[in-house]
Amino acid sequence: MFDLINPTKVFYLIEKLISFINSIFFILLLIALSFALIFSPPDYLQGDSVRIMYVHVPSAWISLASFTCIALFSIINFIFKTKNLILITKSIAPIGLMFTCLAIVTGSLWGQPTWGTWWEWDARLTSMVILALFYIAFIVSHKLILQEDKANKVSSIIVIIGLINIPIIKYSVDWWNTLHQPASIKLTGSSAIHSSMLMPLLLMFFVMLLYCALIFLMKYKIEIIRIKKKNLKRL
Q: For 151-185, what is each residue's pLDDT tens digit?
A: 888 999 999 999 999 999 888 777 766 666 666 66
- Provide the 10 A C-beta neighbour count for residue 207: 23
Maximum alpha-carbon separation in the chain: 67
121 vs 88, higher pLDDT: 88
Q: Tell me what pLDDT residue 95 has.
A: 96
Give the helix/strand (H/E) hosting 231: helix 195-234
Q: What is the mean pLDDT of residues 123-128?
A: 86
* Residue 129 banded pLDDT, cuts 50, 70, 90: very high
Q: Tell me what pLDDT residue 28 has.
A: 94
Q: What is the mean pLDDT of residues 90-102?
A: 95
Q: Tell me what pLDDT residue 7 has.
A: 54
Q: Has residue 213 got a pLDDT over 80?
A: yes
Helix %, strand %, coil % for the chain, to 5? 80, 0, 20
pTM value is: 0.86
* Residue 234 banded pLDDT, cuts 50, 70, 90: very low
Q: Tell me what pLDDT residue 215 has.
A: 94
Secondary structure of 99-140 in the HEC alphabet?
Answer: HHHHHHHHHHHHHHHHHCCCCCCCHHHHHHHHHHHHHHHHHH
Q: Has residue 235 got a pLDDT over 50?
A: no
For the chain, percent of residues with pLDDT exceeding 90:
43
